[in-house]
Amino acid sequence: MPLYRFSECVSHAFYLIWKIEESVEALHAQLHPQFLADFHSNNLSSIDRQQQSLAVRVALCCLLKKLNFPLASLSKNAQGKPILAGYHISFTHTRYLAAVALSTVCPIGIDIEIVKPSLHKVQKKFLTEAEVQDANHCLAKLAIYWCAKEALYKRLDQQAIVKDSCIAPFQLQAEGKIIAYWHQKKHVLGYQCIADGAIEPHVLVYSQD
């Protein structure tokens, strides 16, 4: 079973990373109907997208089992945000990894990104000038900045505009914390760099407050 990593962010928040190795059929077979009600394969453009969509559901199911939480009905709101009765959740995935974050107390956000050269081309579209200078062409830092803004966007339930958020300068480590501000309100996020010789390097960022 390709459970990649499980972590308790804080006492009420958790995340789980799933390495995507199974076929669409194998992933589908692992899921209870409660987790498939909002899955419509015909609306997804490719097998890869179907595989990723199912993998985040498998990750959620695995996380609930690890926490001894009961299964609940999974659905989406009008904006496509995943809704799990009784909990706050957030989904993210690439072609290699799927991740889910869950909080029992407050909204949560998580985002994962492949560390790739194309981030250089778009950095000025989503970073402030101070953030561009702090990243200093480091792809891993660019990916962390991007994921932090996306995770905050999800944490704030899409109230924020990505460019409106500001991330304080930070020293790159294998894992650590960063501080984000949106309209002068402070938010703490955790991050980790994921290095696995079998897949491309990734970064993961999740909200902690």
| DSSP category for residue 42 | G
Residues 9 and 101 in one domain: yes
Asked whether residue 118 carries a pLDDT value surpassing 90, the answer given is yes
Residues 135 and 123 in one domain: yes
CATH value at residue 201: 3.90.470
CATH value at residue 75: 3.90.470.20
97-103 sheet: strands from edge to edge: 3-10, 13-19, 97-103, 88-93
| Distance set, CA 98 to CA 57, 128, 159 (Å) | 9, 28, 24
Measured CA to CA, the distance from residue 146 to residue 135 in angstroms comes to 11
Residues 168 and 101 in one domain: no
- Per-residue pLDDT band at 163 (split at 50, 70, 90): low
Among 74, 107, 140, which residue terminates a domain?
107
Measured CA to CA, the distance from residue 180 to residue 156 in angstroms comes to 12
64: CB partners within 8 A, 6+ apart: 70, 71, 72, 102
Residues 71 and 123 in one domain: no
Among 49, 81, 107, which residue terminates a domain?
107
How high is the pLDDT of residue 158?
A: 61
Residues 101 and 115 in one domain: no
135, 142 in Cβ contact below 8 A?
A: yes
How many independent structural domains does the chain possess? Answer: 2
Residues 193 and 139 in one domain: yes
The answer to whether the predicted template modeling score (pTM) of the entire model surpasses 0.85 is: yes
Residues 8 and 42 in one domain: yes
SS3 186: strand
| Distance set, CA 186 to CA 51, 80, 169, 183 (Å) | 36, 26, 14, 9
Please, what is the average pLDDT of the chain?
90
Residues 98 and 169 in one domain: no
Among 107, 127, 151, which residue terminates a domain?
107
Residues 26 and 52 in one domain: yes
pLDDT digits (tens, 9 = 90+) for 90-104: 999 999 999 999 999
Q: Which domain holds residue 201?
A: 111-207
Residues 16 and 102 in one domain: yes
Residues 143 and 181 in one domain: yes
Question: Between residues 41 and 203, which one has the greater pLDDT?
Answer: 203
Residues 101 and 141 in one domain: no
